[in-house]
Amino acid sequence: MHGMACKHAKTSPVIVSFAFKMALAFTSSITLPSSTFPSLDPKLSQIRSIRISERHNGAAINLYQRRSSVEPDYAEPPHKDSHIPFAAATIVASASHDDEDDTVQFAEVNETGKDNIEELAADLENASPLEIMDKALEKFGNDIAIAFSGAEDVALIEYAHLTGRPFRVFSLDTGRLNPETYQFFDAVERHYGIRIEYMFPDAVEVQALVRSKGFFSFYEDGHQECCRVRKVRPLRRALKGLKAWITGQRKDQSPDTRSEIPVVQVDPVFEGMDGGIGSLIKWNPVANVKGNDVWNFLRTMDVPVNSLHFQGYVSIGCEPCTRAVLPGQHEREGRWWWEDSKTKECGLHKGNIKQEDASHANEIAVSPHNGSATVSDIFNAQNVVNLSRTGIENLVKLENRKEPWLVVLYAPWCPFCQAMEESYVDLAEKLVGSGVKVGKFNADGEQKEFAKRELQLGSFPTILFFPKYSSRPIKYPSEKRDIDSLMAFVNALR
């Protein structure tokens, strides 16, 4: 690994203590806003740097320090086999840190090592993001880096900065990012005085993929192949030069793939510099933080953010696979919207899907009339008819119905279905006496192939209107699932 030159500036402990206390308070004392979205800011283009300083011996001491030429005494020696160039890291004022735990020795990570990490995760479960970040940087020095996607995970960089320790940041440039994301990268580098370590996909692999399948094959056969070439393999190369990495995963980001992530874990998929499964530790400092808390933290600390957030984007990835979400929609619904929520991972956190697949193996959701499910059913209301397979088949076959029907095709585990439950039940109540029947059909499990083949199921939820004098159902085309939008759809067709 290439070396880095730096030295410490002597800074008053009062400054570091103040910064620590500020960050520690965010996840426990901030009043949550009503939405995950950042509030509109007409001064978005005026990105400013926050500077926390205090007069000491007549001089203003700043937490933002320039890089210089002495290696920090608490960092491990650089490694020659790094696959990532040693980036210019932010060096800030040093502070005293506890030395309770020794650095994990990955060459010996076995069941005992895994148990140690699980014990550490349990100890830090209720810790603040700042405490978790500080412990990660303390334990791994130069052999850990923050994975930065160009979204709200900029909070990780701010937390790292507030620890007063040197840190590294890397990012995957897929070649398909939004222009706003590239502008954001530049703003972050200038704000913190760092150089982000960019990883790029192999040009030959990208060329082969595009020549054989075109630029947008993922809309037809899924995003996994493109992500494997543009994201997963570059990430694998990056991680081979590290002993640990830091991600911005949160439990509330994706109930189907991230609900069980710990604050620190042995990476179940990728390998670190010592090789072999178990050679890489994965830190998730904001795992237990709600999205609202993250945004309160960013606003309070005056951290630059991606301007796409002010256009309705919450989760941000590549331009063709990311879109703004609407009020009431889950943030991950803006990613790979043509696919089911259980597959909404690009491969960077593939281990999450494995965990969820195992938990869903015995969880095939069926109609309560035909069997039992381990996930509680949804859309349970007096005015919503629960259709069995026979019932929905008969509805499809009828050419002259006594009344029109509105039917939602759903899966009980789907967070997007759960998010629209209230509006759908309210709609059913409003339609009482209107001549329109409202129903639901659990299209998951053994019913899924039938629903895809006969009911136009693409992803959950799918909403269908069965007109009174037509056998073919009409699919609701919008992602707006509030009661007014659904009512407008019904009124336009009945």
Q: What are the catalytic residues?
A: 414, 417
* CA 243/CA 142 separation, integer angstroms: 9
**Do the strands 437-442 and 405-410 form a parallel or antiparallel pair, or are they unpaired?**
parallel
Residue 60 DSSP SS3: strand
Q: CB of 135 within 8 A of CB of 53? A: no
Structure tokens at 81: 């086999």
The rounded Cα 73 to chain-centroid distance in angstroms is 34
Chain centre to alpha carbon of residue 350:
12
Q: Checking DSSP bridges between strand 144-147 and strand 53-56, what pairing results, if any?
A: unpaired
Letter for the amino acid at 197? E
Place of tokens 């309210």: 426
d(CA 467, CA 212): 43
* Amino acid in position 8: H
Contact 431, 455 (CB under 8 A): no
Which burial class, exposed, middle or buried, applies to 388 when counting CB atoms under 10 A from its CB (0-12, 13-18, 19+)? middle
Decide the pairing of beta strands 264-266 and 59-62. Answer: unpaired
Q: Which amino acid is at 214?
A: G
Count of other CB atoms within 10 angstroms of residue 135: 23
In angstroms, the CA 36 to CA 58 distance is 42
Do 352 and 345 contact (CB within 8 A), yes or no?
yes
Pure H helices in 284-414: 291-300, 350-360, 389-397
Whole-angstrom distance, CA of residue 156 vs CA of residue 246: 8
